[in-house]
Amino acid sequence: MNIFRKKKGGQIDPSRLPRHIAIVMDGNGRWARRRGLPRTVGHGAGAENFRTVATHCKELGIEYLTVYAFSTENWKRPAEEVETIMELLENYLYEAIGKMEKDRVKMKFFGDTTVLSEKLRELIAKTEEISARFEGVQVNICLNYGGRDEILRAAAQYAREYADGQRSPLTEKRFSDYLFSAGIPDPDLVIRPSGEYRLSNFLLWQTAYSEFYFTDTLWPDFNPRELDQAISVFQKRDRRYGGI
């Protein structure tokens, strides 16, 4: 029997899928500009594509999907664009709350959500409350997130507890427990669409041994076939973790 699933984007071995895929959802603004449209339209197209890709990950059997939705640096963008992104997030969470029980998809948020609107914080709390009821595919949304900020917060929290005599000397494992991703395996595969070749402050600690896949495709056009191609490339890599 052929164990490979044949796809237009490549062959996928279902026995060697990455447990955790992380994606920088980049290129929405350029996608819109190339079509003579406002950047806000690009963010709408990107939000729809997130639904498509997340569904495909679930169908493949990916256990964890982490997406970079809004960074700590994105507040520098025009107010109208930031407002549109937040509205799209609210709409997505309204939709997710209605489908979570049926889809069995857990949701977790990485980042400082205290500065978000009251409505968005309430929706986040509701999705996390529902998520606690069951096991299943987990989608992590990085919202007002920065990798450096995450590490600083973790270090400060550990320092406070250590000063109070609550903690023994620091190890990598113990430090990981202070991150937003505590208890979640590190990403096996990081995907960056849009032709950029950098992490942009995304999961700096967690991606130490991740495999990277870059593509010129802009995020709204990054379809399931592209994801299959990224996984196919990942499965050809030799992951030695510093060994031989």
Q: Is 60 within 8 Å of 17 (Cβ atoms)?
A: yes
DSSP, res 114:
G
Select which of 74, 112, 221, 223 is catalytic: 74
Q: 28 catalytic, yes or no?
A: no
Cα separation, 9 vs 180, whole angstroms: 33
User: Could you tell me which residues are beta bridge partners of residue 23?
Assistant: 67, 191
Q: What is the SS3 assignment for 9?
A: coil
Annotation says 201 is catalytic: no
- 156-193 burial string, b = 16+ CB within 10 Å, else e? eebeeeeeeeeeeeeeeeeebebbbbeebebbbbbbbb
The catalytically annotated residue of 13, 26, 28, 164 is 26
Residues serving a catalytic function are 26, 74
